[in-house]
Structure 1
Amino acid sequence: MIPSTDELLEIARTYWPSQEDPNQEPSPEAHRLHALWRRKLAEPGPWNVLIEQLRKAFPEKGVGNITTASDACFWCVIYPSHGREPPGLHWVYVGCASIIAPVYTVYRALIEFGERQVLRQLDLEPPAVEPAITLARLMETTMGLSLLPPDIANHPAPVFVGWKSPPKTTLFHALFTSYPDNLP
């Protein structure tokens, strides 16, 4: 069951500061997020299972765990093929499992592969196609999470997340990442 928007806003305030710190000192919220990450990384069991299930489901694709402790989620990416992508435009699918709320999201990025990767489009509401369908199903069954609806994900959050600040910060940024386009 998805928490209400008010509950999600309260969760966001627990882990992200509502005021900018001019001294750049870690906030009490940052300390709480880091402590939660220490616990989650000590036993990431369901996440590791999910990554293995994705690798089995898509052996021809490149599946990677791109989790960083600066965000509020475990992150994975599914590239179109195993190894280096051929030049051209390709959709890359991303799954995020929040560590602060029982929700997940799946989105896609259109990337132009060549001498360097260039993001051409970000689609936070991908169509129901593979591998998004399987990624969503495994997030629900393996992780026990619920999909965060786009209208709630886009709700403004009065917190500072990375370089995002109110009024541009949304629940998507607070529950997952403020850099959805920062893919390896």
Structure 2
Amino acid sequence: MTISAEELLAIASNYWDSSKDFYLRQETSPRTERLQAAWTRELEHVERWWSFRDALRRSLPGFELKLMGSTADAGFRLIAYPILCTQLPRYDWSIVGCISILAPVYAVYAVEYECTKGKRSQFKAIFEPTLPGMDFPVRVISSKIEEVFGFSAVPSDISRTPIPLFVESKEPPHTTLFDALFTSEPASIP
């Protein structure tokens, strides 16, 4: 079941401020405290995230998987890196599955980058992954999130909806539902 943009905005509004007032003060806003409390609850059950990663590892041979979460964000991210092999073409992309801790929703996207001497740089988030080879990990990650968590995918047009909230380094009119539900820095991966 898809949750509407209005419903997602109502949820996000409980965790992100609509003004800069608290950014200029020493005290934490009630919304930030709610986000921190959501992370505390989620981290009490962190083993389910490790189990999810391990189950996905069996379904995605040929990919290195990393799980990351930051209390500055609103969700966990699982990054699938194609393992490089001398017999295969070089991949300069990874697939990222984001799972919100605020709403029962997820998103899957790609991060493209340049790879020079084993170092990644020039990261760019691609919200409609279409390069050859991306379909398989996108399908597997999506189906495993739905199977394990029962969450619904947020369509790209809804996740890119501008919202009147301040999320980390983003502020209106540049803030989107994606920023508030997942991360304001989608291209930032290890």
Scaled by the length of structure 2, the TM-score of the pair is: 0.88
2:109–2:127 contact (8 Å) kept in structure 1: yes
Which residue matches 2:15?
15
Query: Tell me, which stretches of 5 or more residues in structure 1 are unaligned?
Result: none
Paired amino acid for 1:153:
S
Q: Does the residue aligned with 1:119 lie in a helix, a strand or coil? A: strand
Which residue matches 1:28?
30
Which residue matches 1:64?
66
Which residue matches 1:93?
95
Tell me how large the CA RMSD over aligned residues is. 2.1
Displacement of 1:45 in angstroms is 4.5
Paired amino acid for 1:117:
R
1:93–1:106 contact (8 Å) kept in structure 2: yes
Q: Give the whole-Å Cα distance in 2 for the aligned partners of 1:24 and 1:109.
A: 35
Which residue matches 2:49?
47
Q: Of 152, 163, 170, which residue of structure 2 is paired with 1:164?
A: 170
Q: Does the residue aligned with 2:39 lie in a helix, a strand or coil? A: helix
Q: Does the residue aligned with 2:41 lie in a helix, a strand or coil? A: helix
Which residue matches 2:111?
109
Displacement of 1:140 in angstroms is 0.7
CA shift digits 1:117-150 (9 cap, x unpaired): 1135321122371111100000111111000011
1:118 aligns with 2:121: yes
2:94–2:111 contact (8 Å) kept in structure 1: yes
Displacement of 1:24 in angstroms is 5.1
Displacement of 1:75 in angstroms is 0.8
Q: Give the whole-Å Cα distance in 1 for the aligned partners of 2:47 and 2:101.
A: 13
- Name whichever of 143-152 and 58-67 sits farther off: 58-67
Q: Does the residue aligned with 1:66 lie in a helix, a strand or coil? A: strand
Q: Does the residue aligned with 2:69 lie in a helix, a strand or coil? A: coil
1:109–1:181 contact (8 Å) kept in structure 2: yes
Query: Tell me, which stretches of 5 or more residues in structure 2 are unaligned?
Result: none
CA shift digits 1:96-136 (9 cap, x unpaired): 00000110000001111224311353211223711111000
- Name whichever of 4-13 and 165-174 sits farther off: 4-13
- Paired positions, count: 182
Paired amino acid for 2:176:
T
Q: Give the whole-Å Cα distance in 2 for the aligned partners of 1:117 and 1:110.
A: 9
Q: Give the whole-Å Cα distance in 2 for the aligned partners of 1:92 and 1:143.
A: 22
Scaled by the length of structure 1, the TM-score of the pair is: 0.91
Displacement of 1:166 in angstroms is 0.5
